[in-house]
Structure 1
Amino acid sequence: MSIDPSSIPSFGVPQQPAPAGQPPVIIPDQDLVKQLLDQMELKHTVDEEGDLLAPWEGFRVYFMFRGEQQELFAVRAFYDQPHDLERKAELLEALDEWNRETLWPKVYTHTHDDAVRVIGETQMIVGMGVNLDYFVAMTANWTQAAVTFNTWIAERLGLAAEEPKPDESAEGEA
């Protein structure tokens, strides 16, 4: 039995211009994300590795492009709250609950020395282009979800936490 090559979908089809009235298909970059963070009125900076980040009290959200052609866009949150190794099973149970019940960010643990920390992330392949409205909506939603998770995990584990707010001490770029 042979397969007709024309029946195989081509995922590398050149991008077609958007129909009139449709948002353009773009290949996003760090400057676009900076503009979006400015519109969201979020302070942001670029770290020593060149990654864009928006700091909150208690965690940081990074907006990173990875891959040979920067074709992978990731929003990754690093939560500063250390958790005791003895409570890791309870923490994992809570993270499993979050991962089952929500779309993003997917969260996991990182154990270093004698503490466990939580990282959340979500990713999108953008190298072939993406609808501008979709990219903007997903970036904003993923950022809000990172903030929501911080509140949720504090409540779920009975940790005292205030409503997360952007870290005003960070130097922002306009």
Structure 2
Amino acid sequence: MSIDPSSIPFFGAPQQQPQPTGDEGPPPVIIPDQELVTQLLHQMELKHAVDEEGDLLAPWEGFRVYYMFRGEQKELFAVRAFYDRPHSIDSKAELLEALDEWNRETLWPKVYTHTHDDGVVRVIGESQMIVGMGVNVNYFVAMTANWTQAAVSFDAWLAERLGLAQAVDTDGDDSTEGDSTED
């Protein structure tokens, strides 16, 4: 099964919640973990796996999105996308100009380059939040889903911005769709 990036839940601006009346107290706070992220990926119907380092990843054609907990107490949660499209060192200035534009105009993911020893330049996108003291579960779910959608959208944006986008078939089959069957 393949997934259209637009089918990933987009929670947008938070809706007005009724104000607590007395005994209800503040919203529930949890310390997220890999099991919660796994449940979210299942709910979003995204194909996913666990890599050799124990991180969750969701593969798309042309890139992978990782869901990682870091720190001694797993207090930092990061959604990091590794984009497979190689860029030459000669085109790095143009690439950096595009990435600067993205970083100025969007909140996430923040994107940057990594130049390998062989001169191949790759793009990485990243969003992070500190979760060690706890976070509202609804906020965590919304941010994780939005960061995933933004990672998918960035790949299409960059391809279009650099003139690398592939044509869409007349039957509406977009060649930039990723796989989304569950493991």
TM-score computed with the length of structure 1 as normaliser? 0.84
Deviation at 1:93, TM superposition (A): 0.2
- 1:28 maps onto 2:32 in alignment: yes
Pairwise mapping of residues 22-61 of structure 1 onto structure 2 (< 5 A)? 23-61=27-65
Q: Deviations over 1:32-75 (max 9, x none)?
A: 00000100010100001100000000000000000000000000
Deviation at 1:148, TM superposition (A): 0.3
Runs of 4+ in 1 over 4 A off after TM superposition: none
Q: Give distance in 1, aligned partners of 2:176 and 2:139.
A: 26
Partner SS state of residue 70, structure 1 = coil
Q: Which has the larger radius of gyration?
A: 1
Answer whether contact 1:84 1:116 (CA < 8 A) is retained: yes
Structure 2 stretches of 5 or more lacking a match? 1-22, 167-173
Residue of 139, 146, 149 corresponding to 2:151: 146
Question: Which residue pairs with 1:166 in the alignment?
Answer: 178
Structure 1 stretches of 5 or more lacking a match? 1-18
Report the residue type matching 1:37 in the other structure: L
Partner SS state of residue 48, structure 1 = coil
Q: Give distance in 1, aligned partners of 2:178 and 2:35.
A: 20
Pairwise mapping of residues 84-103 of structure 1 onto structure 2 (< 5 A)? 84-103=88-107
RMSD: 1.5
Partner SS state of residue 120, structure 1 = strand
Question: Which residue pairs with 2:85 in the alignment?
Answer: 81
Partner SS state of residue 104, structure 2 = helix
Report the residue type matching 1:124 in the other structure: M
Question: Which residue pairs with 1:7 in the alignment?
Answer: none
Answer whether contact 1:120 1:146 (CA < 8 A) is retained: yes
Partner SS state of residue 124, structure 1 = strand
Residue of 128, 151, 154 corresponding to 1:123: 128
Deviation at 1:22, TM superposition (A): 5.6
Deviation at 1:163, TM superposition (A): 4.9
Answer whether contact 1:27 1:126 (CA < 8 A) is retained: yes
TM-score computed with the length of structure 2 as normaliser? 0.80
Q: How many residues align?
A: 153
- 1:111 maps onto 2:123 in alignment: no
Question: Which residue pairs with 1:11 in the alignment?
Answer: none
